[in-house]
Amino acid sequence: MKNVLFIDRDGTLIKEPEDNQIDAFEKLEFYPEVFTYLKKIATELDYELVLVTNQDGLGTVSHPEEHFWPVHNFMIKCFENEGIVFADEHIDRTFADDNAPTRKPRTGLLTSYFSDDYDLKNSFVVGDRLTDVELAKNLGAKGIYINDQTFLGTNEVSNTKEALAPYIGLETNSWSEIYEFLKLSNRSGNISRKTNETDISIALNLDGTGKSNIDTGLAFFDHMLDQIARHGQMDLDIKVSGDLEVDEHHTIEDTAIALGALFNKTLGNKLGIERYGFCLPMDDCLAQVAIDFGGRNWLVWEAEFKREYIGKMPTEMFMHFFKSFTDGAKCNLNIQANGTNEHHKIEAIFKAFAKSIKMAVKRDVHKMILPSTKGML
């Protein structure tokens, strides 16, 4: 099935003039960076480009065709000269008050895309109005909202921006960011692991913002896992129901195994990642954590704890957590820490662990290569 980029014209490919009507060459101004990055999208990514635009009253006295087509055709030719070819153009000629089924955000012009030939769920509508976002909603796609604070078309949508928020995959005014967003697919996933001892559900977004919702039944363990999300700048939801009436061992071990396996799954092909990644001081303590998502599991642990418990978490399980994580994630982990305060020491380790992950999973959109001479990770 084909993925589609439904692209608006005015305010998206070209700048919107003060009178909101481009009917003369002196009004034509291309959107910054559009040629550079739309060409990259057209040549590097697997999207069919489709132009979708409302042109109020095209063909009437207020918007004569003889003024519209020369400018429009020149614009299309400029894109074609740069290797940017639209598979189709859909132009609605009605006024907003007509409430025509063919006018965005309605889908009357686009019924041919509701077929097995197109993957609308993984398609996007790119535009500068909320009508474009609502069109994405009506198509079952996602919106890329170019927000130049013009607030045009708000009277034509049946939903508020807040209600449309779940359908906005990216809000920006940069074609560079649009390219990066489409090139670097969102790395998120979830995993469930159920045994006789534990029932675990984890959701992870490696490209998140540090949000977490964690409940393992062990408050201090929750606090440490929250450090991974917050300092690793990833979204992490963890729900664990374990046999804590027996011991903490299974809850901690199985969480680490599942979390590691989810990291391995979510990293995908690992193209463009840094692969390696941290040294972090915390008051009296210094923690050094080096990680390598190289496909081989190994743990070096050089950290001693004199207390038996911190909170309700056995200190003997710290090493076991990281060993289980390396098994699941197929990564190499080297951890060293020293200091006098035991709480600070393990918290510094988890923070450094999070920072090392953040460093290692970072991607470079311009260097999507595998960081290995072996040709595989």
Give me the active site residues, please: 8, 10
Q: How far apart are CA 137 and CA 156, in angstroms?
A: 14
Are 125 and 133 in contact by the 8 Å Cβ rule? The answer is yes
Alpha helix positions (H), the chain? 34-44, 65-81, 130-139, 161-164, 175-183, 219-232, 249-267, 316-329, 342-361
Residue 173 is classified by DSSP as S
> At a CB cut-off of 8 Å and minimum separation 6, what does 66 contact?
none
Sign of torsion, CA 348 349 350 355?
positive
Query: Hey, is 119 helix, strand or coil?
Result: coil
Return d(Cα 128, Cα 125) in angstroms, integer: 10
Tokens coding 1: 């099935």
Query: C-alpha angle 194/197/200, rounded to 5°?
Result: 40
CA 133/CA 45 separation, integer angstroms: 22
- Pick from 86, 61, 90: nearest CA to 75: 86
Calpha distance 254→200 (Å, rounded)? 8
